[in-house]
Structure 1
Amino acid sequence: MTTTARRRPTTAILTAVLALGLVAACSEQPEQPVPTATPAPEPPAPVLAPLRGTVVDGELGHPALAAKIDNHAAARPQIGLERADLVFEELVEGGLTRYVAVWHSDVPEEVGPVRSIRPMDPDIVSPFEGLIAYSGGQPQFVRMMEEAPVVNVVHGAPGTEGLFSRTADKAAPHNVILRASDLVGRHADLAAPAMQFSYAADGAPATASEGGDPTGRLDLVFSHASGPSWSWDPAASVFLRAQGGEVDTDAAGAQLAAVNVVTLRVPVTAGEVPKTELIGEGEALVSTGGGTVSATWVKRSPTDRIRLVDALGVDVRLAAGNTWIELVPTTGSAAVVAP
C-alpha cells in the first residue's frame, strides 16, 4: 500500500504534463496558406506589320523573305503567292513577266516555283534587307545581288541542304520549291524590315479611297505578251487579278487579290535581258478601295524605299493589307476603266 500511495501523485503529474504537451502541440501547428488566384497571362502587345500596315498580335522580329517567283504559264498556279505582303511584277525576256514576292507577316511553309534573278532585283530587295532566295542567274547579276545588303540563298549552293526541292506537279525548270518558313527560322537573328509605304491610320480612309477616280478595272500592258488586269470587287473590298484573258488563281483555286495595286511607270533598258530602271522617279497610279489617284514615285538609291507622293509632296496613304507593285514600262500602258 505504501508503494501504491507513493505512485499516485507521479501518475497525476505525468497525465497533466501530457495534456499540456498536447495543447502546446496543437497551438504550434503552422498556419495553412491562404489560396490566391493565379493572374492570367498578359496578351501579347499588338504590333504593326511593316510591309502590310495591319495590326497583329505577337512578335514580328524575324527577317523578311524575298524570292524570285516564276510567272510562266507552266509555273501557274504559284505556291504561297497569295500570302505575300508585297509582290513586284517586272518585265523579263520575251515580253514575259516575273515576280519578286516578299513575305514577312505571314510566311508559308513553301513558296514557288523559284527562278533566277534579273539585273533590277537588287534595287527591289535592298530596302528590305533580310533574305533573297533564287535559283541562280547570269554571273554578273549574281554578283550584283551578292553586293546587296541581303543574305543570298541560292538553289544548290552549300548550306541550303533541305531548303529546296523539285515538285513532280510541274516540269523543270518551273518546279523548284523553297521551304520558306524553315529558311526564315534558320536566320531568326536577322532584323525585321522597315516600313516601306505609308498607310492610313485606323478609321481613316486611304488616299485613293477618299479622293480617287472611281475604278472598275485597271488594264496594264507590259508587252505584246503580257497584259494583266485588276477588277474591283466591292463585296470583298479587293482588286481581283487576271492575265492572258483568264482568271489568275492560287494553288487552292481562289483568284489572286490585292488590297492595293500600285502601278509605277518605269523606263526599261533594252537588251538581251531587259532591265527595269528603278532609281529615279516617275509617274504612278495608286489604286485602293475602288478608286485610283495619280502620284509620283521616288527612289533615290538602291537601299531607299519607294515613296509615293502627291502633287504637294505628301505621302499617298495605302489601305492596310497586301500590295502588288506593277513595274509597267513607259513603252507599255496603264488604263483606269470606270465602273
Structure 2
Amino acid sequence: MRKISIAVLAVAIVLAGGCSSKETKKQEIEKEKQAETDKTETEGLQAPFPLTGVGTTEVSSDRAVAVVVNNHPQARPQSGLNKADIVYEVLAEGGVTRFVAIFQSEKPENIGPVRSAREYFIDLASGFDSFFIAHGYSPEAKEMLERGEIDNINGMQYDGSLFKRADFRKAPHNSYITYENIVKGAEMRGYGMDNSPEPAVFLSSKEAELLEGTPAEDLMVSYGSPSFDVIYKYNPVEAKYHRFNGSEETVDFESKGPILLDNILIVQMDHKVVDNAGRREIDMNSGGKGYLFQKGKVNEIQWKKEAGRIIPYKDGSKAGFVPGKTWINIVPSISDVSFDSPQ
C-alpha cells in the first residue's frame, strides 16, 4: 500500500470546515439534529434510487443519461455535476481528463460544457443502458455511434438546436445542453426514457456506520499534471468528500455549491497510446487492483467488469457502496494514488 504525507497539499486548501473548535462543536450538534430529521423523513422510503441507494417514495423508472463533460481548466466550474449519481474520470489525450457523468435520480437544468466521445466513454455508459450525450467523437467512437451501439445524440448534428453555445466561454469549452433538450432529443430519435438501470449494491445504514478500513481522510490521484491531479478531503462532520483540482475546489457553476461525494473508487487499468494524436486504448475488461474510500477509510479491492460495469470486490465478495454519490477515477497505475494513513 502506498502511503505519503499530504500535509503540504493540505496547507494549500482552505476548507469551509476549517473553523474554530466552537464552530466545530456547533456543526456536530447540527449534524446530530439533521440525522434525527433525516431519520424521520426517510421512514417509509422503501424504493431506493438504483444508482445512489437513497430512498424515495416511488420506484423510479427513469432511464439513465450519460454525458461527456469537459474538465479542461477553461471549462471549470462545470454545470450539473453536483446532481450526477456516478462520475467516471478518465484520461483522454495527453494528461487531460474528461468526465462521464451518469444521471438518474436527479435532473440538472443545465449540463456542460459537453465534450467529444471516445470509445471507452461509450463502454462506460453502456453498462447502465444510458442515453449517451456528447459533442464530437474520435474516429472509433464515431463508428460505434453510427453502428447504433448506444442510443445517442451528438452536438455535431445538433449544434445550435439541442446544444447551445455559452457566450461566457470560448469553443470548444462552451457547449451545453439542458435536461429538457435531452428528453426532446430522445423523443426526436424515438428512444424510450422509462427503463431504469439495474441497481448497484449498497450498504445498509448500520453497515455503513460500522464500516471497517484503514483511516485515510486525504488522498491524491495523480494524472501527471497539476491542472488535472485530484485531491479529495473527507469532512467527518458532513460525512462527505470534497473534491479539488490542486487548490481549486470542484463546485457547481450555477449554485456555487461544492461537489459532495460518498464513495471514491479508484481502479487501475492498462492504458496504451495508439495514434499520433495521443488517443488511447484502455483495457476495461481484464479487472485489476483498486482502492475504495468511504467514511474516511480505505480498503484495497479488486475490480471486475460485470454486465458492462466496474464492480469492486473485497475478500471475494462485492463491496457495497455507501448510499449517495460515487466518483470513479480510472488510472494507468495504482501507484498514481497516494494517501495519509497511520504508520
- Where does structure 1 lack aligned partners over 5 or more consecutive residues? 1-43
Partners of 1:198 and 1:91 in 2: CA distance: 26
Q: Deviations over 1:191-222 (max 9, x none)?
A: 11112x3101243227xx61111112011112
Q: Cα–Cα, structure 1 residues 189 and 133, in superposed 2: closer, same or farther, change >3 Å?
A: closer
3-state SS in 2 of match to 1:210 = coil
Asked whether the 8 Å contact 1:63–1:184 carries over to 2, the reply is: no
**Partner residue, 1:286:** 292
1:244-283 correspondence to structure 2 within 5 Å: 244-251=246-253, 252-271=255-274, 272-283=278-289
Asked whether the 8 Å contact 1:95–1:223 carries over to 2, the reply is: yes
Query: Aligned-pair distance for 1:236?
Result: 0.7
Partners of 2:148 and 2:75 in 1: CA distance: 27
Asked whether the 8 Å contact 2:267–2:334 carries over to 1, the reply is: no
Is residue 64 of structure 1 aligned with residue 64 of structure 2?
Answer: yes
Aligned alpha-carbon RMSD (Å): 2.3
**Partner residue, 1:130:** 130
Q: Cα–Cα, structure 1 residues 175 and 288, in superposed 2: closer, same or farther, change >3 Å?
A: same
Is residue 50 of structure 1 aligned with residue 50 of structure 2?
Answer: yes
The one-letter code matched in structure 1 to 2:235 is D
Larger Rg: 1
**Partner residue, 2:87:** 87
Partners of 1:326 and 1:184 in 2: CA distance: 28
**Partner residue, 2:22:** none
Q: Cα–Cα, structure 1 residues 260 and 281, in superposed 2: closer, same or farther, change >3 Å?
A: same
Q: Cα–Cα, structure 1 residues 230 and 142, in superposed 2: closer, same or farther, change >3 Å?
A: same
Partners of 1:92 and 1:169 in 2: CA distance: 25
Taking only the aligned residue pairs, the percentage that are identical comes to: 26
**Partner residue, 2:223:** 222
Query: Aligned-pair distance for 1:140?
Result: 2.2
Which range is displaced more, 325-334 or 256-265? 325-334
Q: Cα–Cα, structure 1 residues 161 and 173, in superposed 2: closer, same or farther, change >3 Å?
A: closer
- Where does structure 2 lack aligned partners over 5 or more consecutive residues? 1-43
Partners of 2:148 and 2:201 in 1: CA distance: 24
Q: Deviations over 1:80-118 (max 9, x none)?
A: 011100000001112111000010000112100000011
With the length of structure 1 as denominator, give the TM-score of the two structures. Answer: 0.79
Partners of 2:140 and 2:266 in 1: CA distance: 28
Partners of 1:58 and 1:97 in 2: CA distance: 36
Partners of 1:78 and 1:318 in 2: CA distance: 25
**Partner residue, 2:14:** none
**Partner residue, 2:162:** 163
Partners of 1:146 and 1:222 in 2: CA distance: 31
Q: Deviations over 1:117-151 (max 9, x none)?
A: 11311221111113000001123221124446521
Query: Aligned-pair distance for 1:244?
Result: 2.6
Q: Cα–Cα, structure 1 residues 45 and 204, in superposed 2: closer, same or farther, change >3 Å?
A: closer
Query: Aligned-pair distance for 1:46?
Result: 4.0
Partners of 2:119 and 2:224 in 1: CA distance: 19
**Partner residue, 1:101:** 101
3-state SS in 1 of match to 2:111 = coil
The one-letter code matched in structure 1 to 2:240 is V
**Partner residue, 1:338:** 341
Q: Deviations over 1:139-173 (max 9, x none)?
A: 32211244465211111426x87421111121111
**Partner residue, 1:236:** 238
With the length of structure 2 as denominator, give the TM-score of the two structures. Answer: 0.78
Residue 326 of structure 2 is aligned with which of 320, 323, 334? 323
Q: Deviations over 1:263-291 (max 9, x none)?
A: 11111112321232211101110011111
Partners of 2:45 and 2:266 in 1: CA distance: 34
The one-letter code matched in structure 2 to 1:222 is Y
Query: Aligned-pair distance for 1:45?
Result: 7.2
The one-letter code matched in structure 1 to 2:211 is E
1:292-303 correspondence to structure 2 within 5 Å: 292-299=298-305, 303=307
Q: Cα–Cα, structure 1 residues 45 and 235, in superposed 2: closer, same or farther, change >3 Å?
A: closer
Partners of 1:120 and 1:188 in 2: CA distance: 23
The one-letter code matched in structure 2 to 1:283 is K
Asked whether the 8 Å contact 2:124–2:308 carries over to 1, the reply is: no
Partners of 2:309 and 2:288 in 1: CA distance: 14
Q: Deviations over 1:229-253 (max 9, x none)?
A: 1011001101111113322222122
